Amino acid sequence: MNGDHFYSSQCTLGESPLFDQKENCLYWVDIEGGKLFRFDFQDGLVKTYLFRGRLPLVLLSQKGDLILARDNRLVSLDRISGKEEF
């Protein structure tokens, strides 16, 4: 079995891969760098979102929002508006 390297994110500590089947994209975080990455399999583009502090986890809610662990709290992130709810 061979792996394929598709993007060099230069993460300090990359974790929490999450595939969203509906959007055909892959999310992951750089815990120490406070970054959320989104790789779109349709166009091959990667978007990077920067947050203050540590970002150890990303999950997908039943509504389709992203749930982020931010330092010592969980927040819901609306992917369209970018608004966070605590």
- Please measure the distance between the N-terminal and C-terminal CA atoms of the chain and give it in whole angstroms: 42
Q: Which domain holds residue 75?
A: 14-85
In a domain, 2, yes or no: no
In a domain, 47, yes or no: yes
84 pLDDT band, cuts 50/70/90, is: confident
In a domain, 3, yes or no: no
Per the structure, how many domains does the chain have? 1
CATH number for the domain including 76? 2.40.10.480
In a domain, 73, yes or no: yes
* Integer Cα distance of 85 and 46 in angstroms: 24
Task: Quick: pLDDT tens for 36-82.
Answer: 999 999 999 999 999 999 999 999 998 888 999 988 899 998 877 87
35 pLDDT band, cuts 50/70/90, is: very high
Structure token pair of residue 23: 């959007």
In a domain, 23, yes or no: yes
